[in-house]
Structure 1
Amino acid sequence: MSGILIATLLLAGAQAGGRVEVPFRLGEDAIVVDAEVNGKKVSLMFDTGFGGSVVLNDTINIGKPTGKMVLRDFVGELEVPTVKVTSLKIGAQTIDPAGMEAVLTPSANYSMSYNTHVDGIMGFEVIKHNITEINFQGQKFIFHPNSLDVTKRTPDGAKTFLNRLLPTGHNSLEMSVQTDAGERMILALDTGNAFFATTHRDVLERVGLWKPGAEAKYMRSSMVASGEVPSWDILMKNVTIFGVKVPESVWSIIDLPSSSAEGDGTIGFGFLKNFNITIDYERRRVWLENFTGEVGNQPVADIGITAGFDPRAGRVRVYRVAPASPADKAGIKVGDAVLSIDEVSELNVGYRRLAKMMEGPLGSKVKLALSRGGNLMRLEVERAYLVNGY
C-alpha cells in the first residue's frame, strides 16, 4: 500500500473516529485561524457571536454574489451581499458547507483591527454541528468525535463548570449570568467581543445595578458593525458568569437599548481567554475549564479619548473626549489631530492598538503631540481609572 494512501486513510480515520487539532493564533484580543473557503486560503477571526459562517472583505474573490443577508449587532442591522459556500476547511478539519453563505463586506481592514493578518470572520455556524473545544491554553481548536458526551463529566464548581444553553436564539450560545441579588441576565458566549463583557444601560436598570435616569461618567465610543455607539465602563461586583463566581470585573456598557428582545449582551474575550471551552450544541451544553486561575479583570488607566485614522486627512483625529476625563481637563477637543503618542508617530495601526497606546499604569503619563488649526500642542496627560462605580 502506498505511503500516500496510508496517510489519506489515517487522516480520514482521525476525522471520523478520533479528534482533529487545528492551531490558532491570538491577535489583538481575538482568535485568528487559517482556513480555506471555496478553494481560497484566508485567515479568519473566530467569532461565536456571529451566527453565520464566514464574513470576508469583498476584495477577496470566492465567487459571484448569490443572495443577501441582514446582519445584526448590539444596536442595529445591516444588509450585505452573500456568496454560497461550496467548500470549507479549517486546517485538517473539513466542514460540511450545506446551507452556508459567506457575507461580503466593503473593503474592511480586518488586519488593522486585530494587529495581525486577517481577511474576515468565521462564525459559530462553522462549528455548530461539531463537538468543538476552544483550547486557549494550547492555542488550538480540538474537534472531538461525536461519541464525546460532556454531560457525563462532573464539574467541581471551582475549576470546571458545565452549563446548559438557554432555548433562545438559533445560532448563539446564550447562558445565564446572575447578579449578587439573584437577578438574571441572558448573555451570549462571544469570542468576537474584545471586552470582558458588554451589556446595555437598560439591562443594568432592569436588574437593579443602575439607577434609572442616572447619568454615567466618562462617556466614550465603541465600534460595532453598524457604526460608532456611545459607551461607558462600570465595575461589577459578585456576578456569577456561566456558573463562575467573579468577585470584580469591568464591563463595557452601551448607552443604547439592545437590538434584541432575547439577549442582554455578550461575555467576551477578556473572560473567555481564561478557559478551555468545549461546545456541544446538539446536546445544548458548554464545558468550561479554568486553567489560568483568573476569572475577573481590573481597570486599565487611560486618558479618555476615542481616536481613529482619518483616511481623507491622512492622520489620526480625536472623535470623542470623555467628559471629566484627564484628556478633557487637559483641553483636548474633538477634531484635534494626533501627531504622536509617546513620541511614536506611526499611528495608522487600528483603533484597538491606538487605544492601547494610550493606556498604562494608574498615575503614569502619556506624551501627546497634537495639532489644532495648524498649531502644534505638546501635552503630558496623567492616566486615571475611568470606570463608573470604582
Structure 2
Amino acid sequence: MFRIRLTFIITLFIICQNILAQDQFYINNNSDKYVLSFKMVNNLMVIPVEVNGKKLSFLLDTGVSNTVILNIKVVDSLKLKNIEKIKIQGLGVGEFVDAIKSTNNNIIVGKNITNKNHKIYLILEGGINLSNRIGEEIHGIIGGDLFKDFIIKINYSTKQITFYKPNTYHYKSCKKCELLPLSFIAEKPYVNVVANFSDTISVNSKLLLDTGGSDALWLFENKEAKISVPQLFFDDYLGQGLNGNIYGKRSRIKSLQIGKFELKNITASFPDTLSLSQSMRHFSRRGTIGSETLKRFYLIIDYPNKKITFKKNSKFFDEEFNYNMSGIEVAYNGQMLVSEKVIKDFQTSSGNKVSNAERGITIDYEYGYVLSLKPSIQVTDIRKNSPAELAGVQEGDYLLEVNGKPIYSYSIQDLMSLFYEKEGREIELIVDRNGYRFSFNFKLKKIL
C-alpha cells in the first residue's frame, strides 16, 4: 500500500514557568512492558488517549515536550482542573496565542499507561486544525511528558509501540544496530548526524528528533555552518505551525548519514527564516529529522538513559523519497449535499421478489436516490508554476471530481497518494469556483 507524505510539523514553545510535581506515567498492571497499536496517518502515529474519562485521539510527537489539546470542541467534556490562562507561541508566522494550562488531570494512554496528575495545555484560538489537514480526527499531541518515563520501541511496519520500564529493560547485542547518544534542549531530543550536500560538502548537524513531523528532513540555512539551499529547488508550502503557515524551499541533498546508515538522495526542506525566528533564537539546532526518515528504522528511544537505537527497517528503507508533484494542498472544509443512486428493490421477470440472482432468471432493479451530507475538500494552497496552477487550478476551489470519481469517494490520504505517484500520471479535476464548474487536466511532473 502506498503511504502518503504530508508535511506537518508541530513544535510548541511554552512561555511559562515549569511547576515541580509528581507528573509521571506508569504501567498500571504490574507488567514490565505494554504494547500499544497505533494508526499510521501521513507517516504520523495516532494513539488513543483518555483525558479525565473522555476518549480522544492524539499524535505521538517527540517534537513537543508538553501535552497539548488542539480541538476546543471537546473542552466542555474534559473536566479540566486547576485552570490558568497563559500565552504561547510556536512555529509559523504569527503572534502569541491564548492558551490554558491545567494540572492534576487523569490521563490513560491505550488501556494500561496512567498518569493521575498530568499537566495539559489547551489552545483556545488561532491554533492548528490537524483533523482537517490530515483527514483523521486529532484532538491533541502528547510527547516528551510520556517519553521521559519509559524506554520506547517503535515498529512502523507492525504499527506498534512498546513501552518498557527503564529499570527492568535489558539491551540485547545487535550488530545491525546503531546506538547514538541523545542530547536534550528544552526537554526535546537531539541527535548528531551528517548531512552530505555533495561529494565535497558534509555538515555535522545536531537535529531535532521529531516523530510529529511527517517530512523527511528540515535544515536551517546557516552560512557559518555551510548549510545552504542546493541550486535545484522550488518554493513550497511546508506545513502549518501553531500560529501560521510555514513556507520555504524544497530540494534534495546527496545523503543523510545516521551512524553507519546512509539515506541517499533524500528530500530536504529549508524553512523561511521568518517562520523560524523564534525557534532559532531559543535552540542551537540545525534542523529536524521527521517521520518520513524515521519510519525507515526500527527505533528504541531511551530518554532516561539519553540514547537512541536505529535498526534498518527493510520494508521502508529503500523507498524513494518523494514529494507532492501536483502542487496542490487540500483540507476538509464544510460539507456538501450529494445525491447517491441506490438499489431500492429488485424482482424476477415474472414479478416475484428474490433474495439473490438465480441462473436463467432476469432481474429487474428498481433504483432510488438518497440525499446525504459529505465532507467538502478545498484547495488550501497551490504552488506557483506547479502543474496544477499552470492548468488553472486556484486556491479556494472546491474539488467535485478527481479522475472521473466523485470527491466524496476519496479521503485526503487517497488524494495525496495520487499526487505523490509516478511522474507523468494524468490528473483530471472538476472543481466548484464561486458556484461555477470548471474542468482541469494536468500531468504530475518531477522538478527534483
TM-score interval, normalised by the smaller of the two chains: 0.7 to 0.9
Query: 1:174 and 2:174 equivalent?
Result: no
More strand by share: 2
Aligned CA distance change for structure 1 residues 29 and 21 (closer, same or farther; 3 Å): same
Shift of 1:383: 0.4
Aligned CA distance change for structure 1 residues 362 and 210 (closer, same or farther; 3 Å): same
Q: 2:218·2:270 contact (CA, 8 Å) conserved in 1?
A: yes
Of 26, 40, 43, which aligns to 2:54?
40
Shift of 1:365: 0.8
Query: 1:362 and 2:379 equivalent?
Result: no
Shift of 1:44: 1.5
Of 110, 117, 123, which aligns to 1:91?
110
Shift of 1:216: 4.6
Shift of 1:11: 6.6
Query: 1:299 and 2:307 equivalent?
Result: no
Aligned residue in 1 for 2:69: 55
Aligned residue in 1 for 2:443: 382
Aligned CA distance change for structure 1 residues 246 and 69 (closer, same or farther; 3 Å): farther
Q: In structure 2, the residue corresponding to 1:178 is in which secondary structure?
A: strand
Please list, as runs of the form range in 1=range in 2, the aligned pairs for 1:139-218 lying within 5 A after superposition: 139-148=159-168, 156=175, 159-166=176-183, 168-180=184-196, 181-200=201-220, 202-203=221-222, 206-210=225-229, 216-218=233-235
| Deviations 1:79-117, CA, capped at 9 Å, x for gaps | 411322432222343334546224345596544444344
Q: In structure 2, the residue corresponding to 1:59 is in which secondary structure?
A: helix
Gaps of 5+ in 1: 1-9
Structure 1: how far apart are the matches of 2:389 and 2:419? 14
Aligned residue in 1 for 2:14: none
CA RMSD of aligned residues (A): 3.3
Structure 2: how far apart are the matches of 1:336 and 1:222? 19
Q: 2:133·2:332 contact (CA, 8 Å) conserved in 1?
A: no
Structure 2: how far apart are the matches of 1:29 and 1:216? 23
Query: What TM-score results when the alignment is normalised by the length of structure 1?
Result: 0.80
| Deviations 1:241-292, CA, capped at 9 Å, x for gaps | 3653212211233223423232233211111112222222121111122222
Q: 2:106·2:118 contact (CA, 8 Å) conserved in 1?
A: no
Q: In structure 2, the residue corresponding to 1:84 is in which secondary structure?
A: strand
Q: In structure 2, the residue corresponding to 1:118 is in which secondary structure?
A: coil
Aligned residue in 2 for 1:219: 236
Gaps of 5+ in 2: 1-26, 337-374
Of 81, 101, 115, which aligns to 1:82?
101
Q: In structure 1, the residue corresponding to 2:30 is in which secondary structure?
A: helix
Shift of 1:366: 0.4
Deviating more after overlay: 28-37 vs 62-71: 62-71
Query: 1:268 and 2:290 equivalent?
Result: yes
Q: In structure 1, the residue corresponding to 2:211 is in which secondary structure?
A: coil
Aligned CA distance change for structure 1 residues 318 and 345 (closer, same or farther; 3 Å): same
Q: 2:71·2:138 contact (CA, 8 Å) conserved in 1?
A: no
Structure 2: how far apart are the matches of 1:153 and 1:70? 45
Shift of 1:311: 4.3
Structure 2: how far apart are the matches of 1:297 and 1:174? 25
Query: 1:339 and 2:400 equivalent?
Result: yes
Shift of 1:218: 4.3
Identity %: 19
Aligned residue in 1 for 2:149: 129
| Deviations 1:138-160, CA, capped at 9 Å, x for gaps | 3222121323567x65553xx41
Aligned residue in 1 for 2:253: 236
Aligned CA distance change for structure 1 residues 114 and 231 (closer, same or farther; 3 Å): same
Aligned CA distance change for structure 1 residues 170 and 348 (closer, same or farther; 3 Å): farther
Structure 2: how far apart are the matches of 1:229 and 1:148? 42
Deviating more after overlay: 324-333 vs 93-102: 93-102
| Deviations 1:166-205, CA, capped at 9 Å, x for gaps | 2x412211111212333122211111111112233x2488
Structure 2: how far apart are the matches of 1:316 and 1:11? 42
| Deviations 1:355-374, CA, capped at 9 Å, x for gaps | 44433221011001134465
Query: 1:281 and 2:297 equivalent?
Result: no
Bigger-Rg structure (1/2): 2
Structure 2: how far apart are the matches of 1:120 and 1:356? 25
Structure 1: how far apart are the matches of 2:87 and 2:226? 30
Shift of 1:333: 3.6
Question: What amino acid is aligned across from residue 147 of structure 2 in structure 1?
Answer: I
Aligned CA distance change for structure 1 residues 191 and 301 (closer, same or farther; 3 Å): closer
Question: What amino acid is aligned across from residue 276 of structure 1 in structure 2?
Answer: Y
Question: What amino acid is aligned across from residue 61 of structure 2 in structure 1?
Answer: D
Question: What amino acid is aligned across from residue 19 of structure 1 in structure 2?
Answer: K
Q: 1:179·1:240 contact (CA, 8 Å) conserved in 2?
A: yes
Q: 1:74·1:265 contact (CA, 8 Å) conserved in 2?
A: no
Aligned CA distance change for structure 1 residues 369 and 197 (closer, same or farther; 3 Å): same
Aligned length: 368
Aligned residue in 2 for 1:247: 264
